[in-house]
Amino acid sequence: MNVNVQNIIQEMETKRLELKYFAQYYGFSHPSTVRLSQELDELFNHYHRLK
């Protein structure tokens, strides 16, 4: 697997765990939760472009 793809997968997992924490602690509509969700979406899009 390409190193870049592996890095993105690791970033996605880290961001997913961070998002899970923020959603549980602050709620789904909190600006920080929304921002993290958007960042995770960007990582998913980047991953799919590489595949």
Cα separation, 7 vs 35, in Å, equals: 21
Stated pTM of the model: 0.89
Mean of per-residue pLDDT scores for the chain: 95
Whose structure tokens read 């990582």? 43
Specify the higher pLDDT residue, 51 or 48.
48
Give me the mean pLDDT over the 1-9 stretch.
Answer: 87
Query: What pLDDT is attached to residue 1?
Result: 65
